Amino acid sequence: MIRKLLASALLLAALPAAGQDLKSFEAKTTVHVLKNGWTFILVERPEAPVFSFYTVADVGSAQEVPGITGLAHMFEHMAFKGTQSIGTTNYAEEKKAIDAQEAAYQAYQAARLAPKADPKRVEELFKTFKAREAETEKYVVKNEFDDIVTREGGVGLNAFTSADETGFFYSLPANKTELFAFLESERFYRPVFREFYRERDVVFEERRQRTESTPIGRMVEQFVSTSFMAHPYHHPTIGYASDLQSFTLTDAESFFRANYAPANLVTAVVGDIHTQEIIPILERYFGRIPARPKPQPLRTIEPPQVAEKTVVIEDPAQPFYLEAYHKPASTDPDQAVYEAIDDILSSGHTSRFYRTLVRDQKLAVQVQSFSGFPGQKYPNLWAVLAVPAVGVTNEKVQTVLHAEIARLQKEDVSDEELGRFKTRAKARLVRSLGDNEGIASQLAEYQRLYGDWRELFRETDRLDRVSKADIRRVASQALQKSNRTVTMITTAKGGADAPQGR
């Protein structure tokens, strides 16, 4: 019975879902590129009188170098601090105060980082800096940017930074397209980095919270920096502690100028909008920003890994096991094959990892593989994270995991497995098109990565073409010991009281 049901499921899934194919989406989607290079994707979706936007800047922590790690993320925070017209009582005076603050900070920093720092002098200069900082605060209208968005009914106001990109988004009632255009153009037209050094403290707290105070945070930092020796994916997006105490407002401004050229930005606007009405508004507001050259492409390519690397963290926490293999950038044609491998190994209760490690051998309680870490734009990693069951060692999990990978290299996957993967990929696309936020983020992301939002819809075709031979080929080529980095947490003595002996 099951086999018959399966066959009919495959047949049904092969039919395109009405209204969700590329052609019907193209009919309601317009791409508008401003003269300064800023790309807008506009989708009319009048389901409710609201709209969402999602702006993605093609810059992330991979654009940083040692000394300024964390700066891409710092700009994300600064983008909430207002502009020359938002968040100030008097910009002309404020600017003088900020300049004086920066001069004082530079003097303090030079004394602090000098080879033979004089603690007394450093202390004096620090006091001067704090006094100048206090001067700047007189002009600040606290959190005015957020205040406007919230008051006008905006929801979901937030942003993120990754190794590849920086994203900004929220949703507004449909009658506020001009507010969107005003606020979002201001942000990238004439941002003011006010309260910079206080916000740097906030970011340091974010590092303490996310990276230093959770076992996964501690592990992932070691994992990423061990996996990459040359490419800037090596350093943490949140930044090193020392850099978070050292990069300056001047650094931030030059980073912004270099990386936030309008041509480096894509915005998708989805919802109850009228394309012909919104385009002139976009021209009027976003068109104010002068064109600047796009940043130079990165030069460093991660050299091939020649030996397995293993990091063992003795930690008070319970064990975790993570292993990863280098793979091409996510725009590579083989990306579809990695997606198939992920699905077959770890998606749902029919996956191989679930059935062997969780259901039958009960060595792990969760096993998840993923690709495109820590970014997608440059060659990246395919990784597996396993959560061992109580009292089970990482080594036991590793042995079974490697047996499953070897099986993928030696034997073809089954028709059912491959069919399930393709069916799920199609359904996933349909499910992802049910809300403005989701549509906006996907279209902007595909536009950024591939230069064409349509690739979102073409992806199902790419996944559909994956063959059994492809899976064996990629598994055999890439999933090799010398290409592997293993990171694990083993529970240190005196750690949490966990029962042993299964």
Residues within window 162-191 making contact with another protein, judged by CB under 8 A:
171, 173-176, 178-179, 181-183, 190
CB of 186 to another protein, least distance (A): 9
Among 89, 209, 300, 310, binds another protein (CB under 8 A): 209
Among 115, 119, 304, 499, binds another protein (CB under 8 A): 499
Please state, in angstroms and rounded to a whole number, the distance separating the CA atoms of residues 79 and 402: 45
CB of 236 to another protein, least distance (A): 15
CB-nearer residue toward another protein: 296 or 500: 500
Q: Is 293 in the site for another protein (CB under 8 A)?
A: no
Residues within window 314-333 making contact with another protein, judged by CB under 8 A:
315-318
Residues within window 384-423 making contact with another protein, judged by CB under 8 A:
387-390, 416, 419-420, 423
Phi and psi, residue 61, nearest 5°: -70, -15
Q: Is 134 in the site for another protein (CB under 8 A)?
A: no
Name which of 435, 436, 431 is nearest 52 in CA terms.
Answer: 436
Q: Is 215 in the site for another protein (CB under 8 A)?
A: yes
Structure tokens at 395: 């080594």
CB of 200 to another protein, least distance (A): 8
Surface-to-core class of residue 381, CB atoms within 10 Å of its CB (0-12 exposed, 13-18 middle, 19+ buried): buried
In terms of residues, how long is the chain? 502
CB of 473 to another protein, least distance (A): 25
CB of 215 to another protein, least distance (A): 5
DSSP SS3 for 113:
helix
Residues within window 447-476 making contact with another protein, judged by CB under 8 A:
none
Please state, in angstroms and rounded to a whole number, the distance separating the CA atoms of residues 314 and 489: 6
Please state, in angstroms and rounded to a whole number, the distance separating the CA atoms of residues 269 and 283: 14
From 141-149, 255-263, 322-330, 471-479, give the range in contact with another protein by CB under 8 A. Answer: 141-149
3-class SS string, 274-329: CHHHHHHHHHHHHCCCCCCCCCCCCCCCCCCCCCCEEEEEEECCCCEEEEEEEECC
CB-nearer residue toward another protein: 258 or 433: 433
Determine contact, residues 385/379, Cβ cutoff 8 Å. Answer: no
Binding pattern to another protein, positions 251-290, x when CB under 8 A? ---------------------x-x-xx-xxx-xxx-xx-x
The number of C-alpha atoms within 13 Å of 266 and in the hemisphere containing its C-beta is 21
Q: Is 201 in the site for another protein (CB under 8 A)?
A: yes
Residues within window 53-112 making contact with another protein, judged by CB under 8 A:
80, 84-86
Can you tell me which residue has the tokens 């979901």?
156
3-class SS string, 204-252: HHHHHHHHHCCHHHHHHHHHHHHHCCCCHHHCCCCCCHHHHCCCCHHHH
Please tell me the count of residues contacting another protein according to CB under 8 A: 107
From 226-234, 304-312, 431-439, 475-483, give the range in contact with another protein by CB under 8 A. Answer: 431-439
